[in-house]
Structure 1
């Protein structure tokens, strides 16, 4: 994977909506609402039995939307995600085996990091964009600023504890490329079929305001 590829994928978005869905039809409807709100990238986590079917359904319905498979832990899940049509994969952490699997498959991967050692492992394999997870529990803005000194060329997608209230604060950090969050398409909004609310939250988040007007 080229070092700048992930940055190119994410450079046009302020936030990646994270969906954990139980039903492919709901996944499509939620994704359509997010797309109407201006989202160009979403993540569907591999935490439910219908996750792969949901990725496949969303890609068929919205081929121009970038769909990432989240919570990818090993090469088996990576293979399944790619077979389902995911555009790239996201992991909560990194291992040498996972990084090698991504390289061997030509798979775009956003690996998770929480420490300087994690970042150094990723850099050694050619990665420069990382998911900072769990972002707020690990230190939030203070951690981002601390990491900017030794790693001036690294960019982050903070995820974990990111809310519409703190989104703007995180995006203001120079080493933050975008953020990941689940509030735009929460399970309660999906269950209520409140697609208008999802669209509105997406629009506010994509503008970098988070909370909306």
Structure 2
């Protein structure tokens, strides 16, 4: 399977992967340190701001205890830029043949998105057995994911999108969910004010969640 041992190890190591939208590159390293201190060393920095690649560079260079991934990767150019910045895994909200081909030529593992049976089958044909399910709540939520377990045995998911402290445990209780992605552990207001101790506290609570 293409989901490499490295990616599997990352996703199985913590129940919640923080999904981060970094507005200021200087926040990236202290934020990653705060999350790692709370038990969530693996983070996904999304390519949704002009500062995203620099944020990845800073975490990769300055926070050895962190495992930095890049999210919102939409094409091979994004993939190459994120890898060059230091991303150790790549996350995409969807999938394209070009993106699959880029991943096949790289040692950096890809977590591709899939929300339909057809997309799951296409990814499985490419050898993927761990997929992102996005946007989770809008695409049918935990009930929909539960219904996929029987026809797609051996496929596991990291649902992201609308995951909160109130529903995370429901997702994590499903047998085909390996972890969840969430932004609630790093609220914009706390990041903007540099409230790293409060973010560490949120991460500590999230790290206590259990998977099935």
Q: TM-score range by the shorter chain?
A: over 0.9
Unaligned runs of 5+ in 1: none
Of the structure 1 ranges 60-69 and 125-134, higher mean CA displacement relative to structure 2 is found in 60-69
Q: Any idea what the Cα deviations from partners look like across 1:43-90, whole Å, max 9, x if unmatched?
A: 100111111111010111112311110000000010000000000110
Kindly tell me the number of residue pairs found equivalent between the two proteins.
209
- Please say if residues 4 and 128 of structure 1, whose CA atoms lie closer than 8 Å, have aligned partners that are also in contact: no
Aligned-partner Cα distance in 1 for 2:31–2:209: 20
CA RMSD of aligned residues (A): 1.2
CA distance in 1 between counterparts of 2:19 and 2:71 reads 8
Shift of 1:189: 1.2
User: Where in structure 2 are the equivalents of 1:101-120 lying within 5 Å?
Assistant: 101-120=102-121
Map residues 175-190 of structure 1 onto 2, 5 A cutoff: 175-190=176-191
When normalised by structure 2's length, the TM-score is 0.95
1:47-196 matches, cutoff 5 A: 47-196=48-197
CA contact (8 A) 2:136 2:163 kept: yes
CA distance in 1, matches of 2:10, 2:182: 17
- DSSP-derived class of the 2:44 partner: strand
Runs of 4+ in 1 over 4 A off after TM superposition: none
Per-residue deviation at 1:178?
Answer: 0.2
CA distance in 2, matches of 1:36, 1:107: 25
